Amino acid sequence: MSDHEHRAAAFRESVSGADVELAYAGLDTFLKSEPRGVGDVGDVDAAVFGVPYDNAVSNRPGARYGPGAIREASEWWAYISTYKGQLTNMWNGEQVDFDDISVADVGDVPLFPMDVETTAESITAHAATIAEQTFPVMLGGDHYCTFPAFRGFAEGTDHDSVGFVQIDAHTDTVSESPVFGADFHGSSTARIADLPKADYDSVSQVGIRGYESAEYFEFAEDSGIDLYTMRDVEDRGIVSVVRDAVESAAEDTDAVYVTFDIDGVDPSVAPGTGTPVPGGLTARQALLTMSVLGSHDAVGAVDMMEVAPRYDSTEGTERLAAYLLVKLLERKFMV
């Protein structure tokens, strides 16, 4: 150790608080977690990877900036956990200790903006590599990226079948568009249902609203989709709906993949997204959703999609997105 290094180390050891990194300082990793190689995450509870890709959107672009924004926003929870130690969840009084969870951030996957197939292969390879070792957390990116990530999760585990819980304003069940083809963010659930380890009867959708195809209710019934619109959420309550949704997806499957499109939340709360639809989940409903999902043993992977921070000058959308992931991880690994 050089004299200069020794002096810095001595300062850190002797000054109280020098080990606390401010929320806005340091490298941007999810929850200020350790940067790791994608093949070196077998000893952690969860591994985060980013997919800054939005070439498959049909409306406003900008989700490519989602992973970076979510990472930066997440650093607040890492800071307060270091600063305050064990925390009290003021909603339910439970004690939460961030030392009880280990998270690594493997960075962003290689992308090929003008080549959707190679980009999908990259996402699948990285999701599979992580799934072989630990719990994958993907930061998107547009919702098309969920298809190759789900495929990677299914291929990287020993599961024979995988259920799918989709929190979203849209169903994403367009098999092919005359404008966008078969590979865009409106086709991801349709592509997933075609995979060998998935099927529509193991898909649960929560928060659907706005407008879909003329025969969508008949399609959902015939295909076996477990569909919960925002009207169902309002009539039955979010906790009851999500419990039923995850139980349905877990029935006769080996694991459940959770995808959360941030446009599932009302745009008055989360305007930073490409295809906002009024009348969505409240922030509280979204947090309860992740609490219920994180408490279910079958949930084996999660992603957060369609955060487009440029449309929210308050930075509230990425803050909520980060908090939603923290809430699921809290229930999964800390409580």
41 with 47: CB under 8 angstroms?
yes
| 201 annotated among ligand-binding-site residues | no
| 297 annotated among ligand-binding-site residues | no
316 with 68: CB under 8 angstroms?
no
Report the relative pairing of strands 95-96 and 87-88 from DSSP bridges: antiparallel
Quick one: CA dihedral 319, 61, 208, 260, positive or negative? Answer: negative
| 19 annotated among ligand-binding-site residues | no
| 143 annotated among ligand-binding-site residues | yes
Cβ partners under 8 Å of residue 220, min gap 6:
205, 227
| 235 annotated among ligand-binding-site residues | no
329 with 103: CB under 8 angstroms?
yes
| 263 annotated among ligand-binding-site residues | yes
Give whole-number Cα distances, 331 to 67, 154, 227, in Å: 22, 23, 25
Q: Where are the alpha helices (DSSP H) in 141-229?
A: 146-156, 188-193, 216-223
Asked if residue 186 has a cis previous peptide bond (ω within 30° of 0), the answer is no
The three-point CA angle 240-252-335 to 5° equals 50
Binding site members: 143, 168, 170, 172, 261, 263
Binding site members for Mn(2+): 143, 168, 170, 172, 261, 263
